[in-house]
Amino acid sequence: MKSSLERLQAYWQRNAAIWITLLLVIGLLLYKPGIVISILVLSLVVLVHEYGHYFVMRRNGITVTEFSIGFGRTLWSTKLKSGTVFSLKPILLGGQAVPVAEGPGSFATATRWVRFKVAMAGMFFNSLAAFVTLTAIVYVTGRMPAILWPYVSWAPHWMIPVLVGLLGSFGIWLATPVLVVWLLCTSLATFFAGSAGPIGIIAMGSQAAAPGMTLAQMVLKYAMFFY
């Protein structure tokens, strides 16, 4: 029969990652709330992106073994009705929808058209989320990215939020390859200065939670940040 100390050691070995992560989140929330909120927003973006892959794979007969948010050791997991294991991991800077490796229902045995749809699904779902977010922002606040105004100023007032949402989501997605080539050809410095990976996004997000900012202003900034 195990002693109390042995049971405590076994519990700590199983749950150390969870408690350490929780303490880090609480510490950051107390001292750097902007960083925590940015990580959560980034995780939401990843969740939407990976759900796009998951949704299309499931709709096209590909078996998904795991749908995870974050990297590292699993903090929490549950098995969905589809048989997919949904898991949450401590390093919230990514995620993945993992199809079965081989055999029937694998990604490798799917047709080229299905593989193409799966590859595009993540960006499509992100663009859809951006469209909903940006359209709602314009409807509620009347504010929009200034760069889009010349392209929608001709439209009736009721149509402007939808047009801004389309241009700022699917429009940017479709135009991105052309914009990247143009920026690379005109100014490498401008291209790399305007690019930011997950760490850069978190840094920008921490600036969005500047002292003295009202809750309404912060919500608007993070909504724009998600878009």
The enclosing H or E element of 52 equals helix 33-59
Which positions ≥6 away from 90 have C-beta within 8 Å? 17, 20, 21, 70, 71, 72, 73, 75
User: Which among 52-61, 82-91, 167-176 has the top mean pLDDT?
Assistant: 52-61
End-to-end CA distance of the chain: 56
Known active-site residue 50 = yes
Active-site hit among 6, 50, 66, 102: 50
Whole-number average pLDDT of the chain:
74
pLDDT digits (tens, 9 = 90+) for 187-215: 655 544 444 444 444 444 455 445 555 54
The enclosing H or E element of 104 equals none
**The pLDDT of residue 90:** 74
pLDDT digits (tens, 9 = 90+) for 156-185: 988 998 998 888 888 877 777 666 666 666
